[in-house]
Structure 1
């Protein structure tokens, strides 16, 4: 009997299922939410039947101070903290409270760091009390990030169940919860305060993330969790990652602004990622927020830390002022020429849905009324981007993703079903095949640049187009499994162009009808338009994107403000007619 007991005692514990590990993670997150911020079961049930969570519904769940503070943009928060009207503790508390409510409504926080954030806020207040100045341009500003960025004291799982409690799937490294991405260190020195991290849109830990504007629709991917956080104002700004529209698309579906910079402008050092050895078309950090001014302030602040000194893959390019780009066009008598703007109504491959067409037409009319010259934009075809993007992004067969899934035994989420063979990754491309794709990409970039420069013969001022307007995606919302085309954003990654997403309007089922004369370009175009459902999409945001040449983020942000100001004047005038 004693021998039996000894043998039994030494047996290894049974391995937990991935479902059990995920459930424990969800419970651990819930326990990090203060009891006084937890919602009643009846409130959660009511939330599930709401079409929209933005506006009145979520505001009704918050106290007056939380509503007031979290309604402010970053520049306003910084101004009030610099004057002493607000403290960092009050600001961080308000956003933590709101983020806690959002998480309970949507399940969009993989990592909750409220205690750490409030401790840091107290340190910032103590610094301000002693020195009578802010510690940096983002002093006390709460942010959230997609769960790829390592923060000391928090897990980084990228929503892989098998990565929970590890360092990128490995145990015993000494880095578990004890490692910091360079971008996090930069934010710390600037005074920004991370309060938590958001998941991939579709994942096996928290489930699927829906748009808070219309809960029948997807939040978009893959930075959908961060987009939901921004749509519901759970932090003052957010950071996602992008290799094929993963910041731009969810920003457009959630009615927020975003900046996807060119590669090498912001640091990805020490950031967890899939395909980390793929540097031909690298993943980039993207900024999400409530205004162009927020995007501008965050980028300018990060560049002030000279990230290239720590990360050799960052281009040594300090912030460049673009005062010559102002909201109003300039007359020739002022010695300036009005910037010309390219306009792409569609790319000749897939036609945008009616609400996206309306958003584009509003932007076009607004800019023309403001005196800007618009040039039809017909560059080399996005069909070439379609041939290039997938081969580079997934040409290795994604063995690291397969390995991560096998750690826990979790299944692939629907969005990547078919990516693998039944028992492992697909065979990778051969090196010569891969090099042929890269050569094609180089040629595509060269011809696109030639086209861009050739527009100088059509602008009327002898200068090429400054930026161009295009759809973000063909859809203003996304019904799961009804997405057929991503090249409006994929192409900007293939070309390494920076982009800004600008929300314009929302879907109106009484207005946004398919034109009776619509004729599809091809089968994909037909499938895309047949998937449009005005009633299902009603209330979803409709956005446009602004695109500029590689590494010209400052100019892009200046021109984005031009577009926003023109749209504001256009909407005001239209409402008065």
Structure 2
């Protein structure tokens, strides 16, 4: 039995290791980018530290560069009106400010990033061309991806200054992730890596748009970086909504592709033996066009030549739904537009979304109907069944690897995980027969969901099944730290392997989105979520919706995403 003193000593050791890591990160920020205690103190009092607050701390040129859309920045680099050094330096400075205000970086590479930008500018000057379509693009990653010259902790204290916790392998980034290699070969510059939402190194990451709420999980740190515009594009990982939820909470756009489109080779994972529902890389950025630009570049790099788990599907150009079909196919409605059908689920009947999310869904449905598109009720095989299957497979190994990594330092479970591990240690792993049954159930559910989707052709006026789904990401606009959770709208996407996009629509408004005191909840989960709503607390938090297309339909999803955002932009009012 461990004595009380031994327990205190172990706690002290991991806390000192974590504190040293935090200080080491701060020392990587140039002195001219250090913020005063007056500024950080003022930021702690603000509800929203994104947008105007952080813009006001930057010089006009840096603010101007970092507020431009990614395709615009790449056009300026291509034309020579913006150098890689100027572009990378601007985002490094903004990321440095964002980290000091929000604690959202676990690994900092500003010095190395500027040196790489200098090399990119030299390459252009010497060769008269760009190294690739992402030449000079500042990128941040969730700290699961290995980058040469940078550490990877995945928020484990015991991984600090090691390679995946092995003290005999201290070389940083000695095994670069495949997608990192592809990004860099296209010209991208990795400037920093972001943490999971809550961890024992940096603590709890709050939402920059409403600091009373959480940034979501598990790629919450990357979501917060994107809300602060600390890079031009961010890459997280998604196993059960871990990109979509932070994107929704932080008011940014995201795409979670199906398995087999983007490489997840040589990426650190908490459960490396769990392969039935693989994690996938997901992109987060400030617009659909930003997501499309980077996604297209990664696909055109032909990742299947280096990763045999990637499906050999070259980039597929799609019809522009807002201007009619390129190939002349498809039914035309109104002013030459192709009519689309959407499956529409404003509520699943189990947990009703809060008023801001209801309003966001209503805004989207109204603008789409106004443009001639149709929405039909969506009543698929129960998502609760998908969540049950996901839970079995996610913890099929009992999470033994997770606890082994925690044990390297003796760090404790974060509070959000305590209830999931009532004995304070690993769960019982499924035996091979039990796992086989869970995987069989997953395939049966996928078949049932696909059959339901196909059946909708009898209810659409287009004569084909619905083109995409519209539904909430989460019942609330962001969430209270430690508040009620409900993944029924998003978690099933990984079980059925749909391609998924998040679109921010509006923000919670205390004057508009009143608490419905007379609402009668339909169950315990619904009551918890209903009671968690406070118009004052949630004021200003992003309210988003999600779009889903079928497996491997990422290009179609991006095209429909542009249609939806275009329709919303055409109907915007000042308060929205």
Fold-level similarity (TM above 0.5): yes
Alpha-carbon distance between aligned partners in 2 of 1:188 and 1:386, rounded to the nearest angstrom: 36
**What does residue 373 of structure 1 align with?**
374
Q: TM-score, normalised by structure 2?
A: 0.95
**What does residue 382 of structure 1 align with?**
383
Which deviates more, 439-448 or 137-146?
A: 439-448
- Does 1:208 pair with 2:204? yes
Q: Deviations over 1:398-441 (max 9, x none)?
A: 01110111100110111211333546312112222222222211
Equivalent residue pairs, number:
563
- Does 1:448 pair with 2:444? no
1:424 is paired with a residue whose SS is coil
**What does residue 169 of structure 2 align with?**
173
Call closer, same or farther: CA 1:26–1:174 in 2, change over 3 Å: closer
Alpha-carbon distance between aligned partners in 1 of 2:334 and 2:564, rounded to the nearest angstrom: 23
Equivalence map 1:92-491=2 (5 Å): 92-173=88-169, 175-323=171-319, 325-326=321-322, 331=332, 338-420=339-421, 422=423, 424-491=425-492
**What does residue 58 of structure 2 align with?**
62
Alpha-carbon distance between aligned partners in 2 of 1:256 and 1:15, rounded to the nearest angstrom: 37
Alpha-carbon distance between aligned partners in 1 of 2:404 and 2:252, rounded to the nearest angstrom: 34
* Structure 1 residue 336 displacement after superposition: 8.1
Given that 1:325 and 1:555 are in contact with CA atoms closer than 8 Å, whether structure 2 keeps it comes out as no
Alpha-carbon distance between aligned partners in 1 of 2:69 and 2:333, rounded to the nearest angstrom: 36
Q: Deviations over 1:147-171 (max 9, x none)?
A: 0000011100001000001111112
Gaps of 5+ in 2: 1-8, 326-330
Alpha-carbon distance between aligned partners in 2 of 1:451 and 1:517, rounded to the nearest angstrom: 35
Given that 1:456 and 1:463 are in contact with CA atoms closer than 8 Å, whether structure 2 keeps it comes out as yes
* Structure 1 residue 133 displacement after superposition: 2.0
Given that 1:340 and 1:375 are in contact with CA atoms closer than 8 Å, whether structure 2 keeps it comes out as yes
Alpha-carbon distance between aligned partners in 1 of 2:513 and 2:199, rounded to the nearest angstrom: 32
Alpha-carbon distance between aligned partners in 2 of 1:97 and 1:184, rounded to the nearest angstrom: 22
* Structure 1 residue 350 displacement after superposition: 1.1
Gaps of 5+ in 1: 1-12
* Structure 1 residue 334 displacement after superposition: 9.6
* Structure 1 residue 127 displacement after superposition: 1.3
**What does residue 328 of structure 2 align with?**
none
Given that 1:395 and 1:429 are in contact with CA atoms closer than 8 Å, whether structure 2 keeps it comes out as yes
Given that 1:445 and 1:495 are in contact with CA atoms closer than 8 Å, whether structure 2 keeps it comes out as yes
Equivalence map 1:474-513=2 (5 Å): 474-513=475-514
* Structure 1 residue 483 displacement after superposition: 2.3
1:44 is paired with a residue whose SS is helix
1:197 is paired with a residue whose SS is strand
Equivalence map 1:62-81=2 (5 Å): 62-81=58-77
* Structure 1 residue 517 displacement after superposition: 4.9
Alpha-carbon distance between aligned partners in 2 of 1:253 and 1:421, rounded to the nearest angstrom: 28
**What does residue 83 of structure 2 align with?**
87
* Structure 1 residue 131 displacement after superposition: 2.3
* Structure 1 residue 61 displacement after superposition: 1.1
Q: Deviations over 1:532-566 (max 9, x none)?
A: 11110000000000000000000011001110011
Q: Deviations over 1:108-165 (max 9, x none)?
A: 1100001111111011101111222221111111010000000011100001000001
Alpha-carbon distance between aligned partners in 1 of 2:575 and 2:425, rounded to the nearest angstrom: 61
Given that 1:327 and 1:565 are in contact with CA atoms closer than 8 Å, whether structure 2 keeps it comes out as no
2:572 is paired with a residue whose SS is helix
Which deviates more, 153-162 or 522-531?
A: 522-531
2:272 is paired with a residue whose SS is coil
Which deviates more, 267-276 or 318-327?
A: 318-327
Given that 1:472 and 1:488 are in contact with CA atoms closer than 8 Å, whether structure 2 keeps it comes out as yes
Call closer, same or farther: CA 1:576–1:33 in 2, change over 3 Å: closer
* Structure 1 residue 449 displacement after superposition: 0.6
Alpha-carbon distance between aligned partners in 2 of 1:429 and 1:473, rounded to the nearest angstrom: 29
Given that 1:281 and 1:493 are in contact with CA atoms closer than 8 Å, whether structure 2 keeps it comes out as yes
Given that 2:140 and 2:191 are in contact with CA atoms closer than 8 Å, whether structure 1 keeps it comes out as yes
Which deviates more, 307-316 or 416-425?
A: 416-425
What do you get for the CA RMSD once the two structures are aligned?
A: 1.9
Call closer, same or farther: CA 1:519–1:327 in 2, change over 3 Å: farther
Call closer, same or farther: CA 1:456–1:403 in 2, change over 3 Å: same
Alpha-carbon distance between aligned partners in 2 of 1:149 and 1:325, rounded to the nearest angstrom: 35
Which deviates more, 312-321 or 146-155?
A: 312-321
Call closer, same or farther: CA 1:105–1:62 in 2, change over 3 Å: same
* Structure 1 residue 214 displacement after superposition: 0.7
Call closer, same or farther: CA 1:336–1:528 in 2, change over 3 Å: closer
Alpha-carbon distance between aligned partners in 1 of 2:39 and 2:305, rounded to the nearest angstrom: 49
Call closer, same or farther: CA 1:244–1:406 in 2, change over 3 Å: same
